[in-house]
Structure 1
Amino acid sequence: MEKPMALRVLHIIGLWLLLTSEIATLDCGQIVKYQSNETGKTLGILKAMAGQQSSQECLEDPDFGFPRAKILKCSQEDAKMAIGLILQQIQIVFQLNFTQAQWSGKVTDLLSRALDQQHMQWRRCATAQMGKEAAFKDLRVMLSLKRYFRKLHTFLRGRQYSFCAWKMVRYELLVIYPIVLNELMRILEK
């Protein structure tokens, strides 16, 4: 009977050491600088995706209504959470059925890994600073972001993940991603 209990205690201690060593190795004070570098790399990947598409004209110009004004009024804590959520949601968008977009699977995998690493870095730092799982203070910020990304999902699904639908969503994210992340990071630097 003592062996299983001792084994469980060792597992818990091992898990705790793994988590705390991972958090201890993070330099959360440098996360804004880290994200600035990563934003540039991710933009490069998004731009490279366009080079793989045909020059087919897409006439529609949808307004997805990014909640910029609401997001830019948020607290520093919510800015951190918003950055993490934006990264996570962009990653989810690009995991949808993109076969008609004519993108290389390698490029989309690279984008997914880059966004996942960025999201995890923000999540770990928020957790390390809070001492517990971080959460939005103003739920309206989270809900408005989720509503925006739901519009992107609905748009893609409604147009059956067509080439033009993907082209418009990729362009939307190419414009929104750097502007909003840079503005949110300015909130954190205050």
Structure 2
Amino acid sequence: MALLLSLLMALVVFSSGLVSSLGCGLFQNHVLVSKNTFMLLGQMRRISPFSCLKDRTDFRFPQEMVEASRVQKAQALSVLHEMLQQIFNLFHTEASSAVWNTTLLEQLLSGLHRQLEDLETCLLQEMGEEGSLLGMQDPTLAMRRYFQGIHLYLQEKKHSHCAWEIVRMELRRCVFVINQFARKIKK
């Protein structure tokens, strides 16, 4: 029991160090909520992905946006915010409500909303430190194009269950990338 308590205390001290090093509390909240988002997207599966193989497509995720080693922190936060906002927008539609379990969908949207609020706070703090929005449009524009492709795909497939399943799997991958990207920002 004492060992468990010591480990928990060490974890709390370590976590608070991470949070203070980031300055806005993003890392701790983001990682916890993103893991939950990833898990919820997994639980939302309603049909087998194998029954939707004919509907697969390459959405052409703009990997260069999250691999850039010299991305300013404000740009990185802007890209994260855009990704989460677009995922929120996809699932916050009438077409989405018709397909997914209402409880899981509400939990997903609530978590995404929390992450967006945290990112907005961090982005405002970072903008004050780094200056203006100049140079931030290009990375977010690439993300907007990527998500526009997903919207068009859903429309072309008439928001079918298989189309949503393919999109769910793509967004699950996207959330995984978001987590990896957030770890890079923290450093």
TM superposition score category, shorter chain reference: 0.7 to 0.9
Residue 105 of structure 1 and its aligned partner are, at CA, apart by 1.6
Which segment drifts farther, 164-173 or 29-38? Answer: 29-38
- Residue 145 of structure 1: aligned partner: 143
Q: 1:144 to 1:79 in 2, by over 3 A?
A: same
Aligned residue type for 1:32: F
- Runs of 5+ unmatched residues, structure 2: 1-21
Count of residue correspondences: 160
Among 41, 62, 67, the residue aligned to 1:46: 41
Residue 30 of structure 1 and its aligned partner are, at CA, apart by 3.0
Residue 186 of structure 1 and its aligned partner are, at CA, apart by 3.0
- Per-residue displacement from partner, 1:118-163 (whole Å, max 9, x unpaired)? 0111001211343499746332201100000000100001111000
Among 154, 157, 176, the residue aligned to 1:156: 154
- Residue 85 of structure 1: aligned partner: 82
- Runs of 5+ unmatched residues, structure 1: 1-26
Among 124, 129, 144, the residue aligned to 1:127: 124
Q: Is the contact between residue 81 and residue 136 of structure 1 (CA under 8 Å) also seen in structure 2?
A: no
- Residue 183 of structure 1: aligned partner: 180
Between the aligned partners of 2:166 and 2:127, the Cα distance in structure 1 is: 38
Residue 33 of structure 1 and its aligned partner are, at CA, apart by 2.3
Q: 5 Å matches for 1:6-155?
A: 28-50=23-45, 53-55=46-48, 57-58=51-52, 59-73=54-68, 74-96=71-93, 97-98=95-96, 101=99, 103-131=100-128, 135=133, 137-155=135-153
Q: Is the contact between residue 84 and residue 122 of structure 1 (CA under 8 Å) also seen in structure 2?
A: yes
Please report the RMSD computed on the Cα atoms of aligned residues, expressed in angstroms: 2.2
Between the aligned partners of 2:133 and 2:174, the Cα distance in structure 1 is: 23
Q: 1:36 to 1:130 in 2, by over 3 A?
A: same
Between the aligned partners of 1:131 and 1:159, the Cα distance in structure 2 is: 43
Between the aligned partners of 1:174 and 1:161, the Cα distance in structure 2 is: 18
- Per-residue displacement from partner, 1:4-40 (whole Å, max 9, x unpaired)? xxxxxxxxxxxxxxxxxxxxxxx84431122111111
Q: 1:38 to 1:32 in 2, by over 3 A?
A: same
Of structures 1 and 2, the larger Rg is shown by: 1
Aligned residue type for 1:77: A
SS of 2:44's equivalent in the other structure is helix
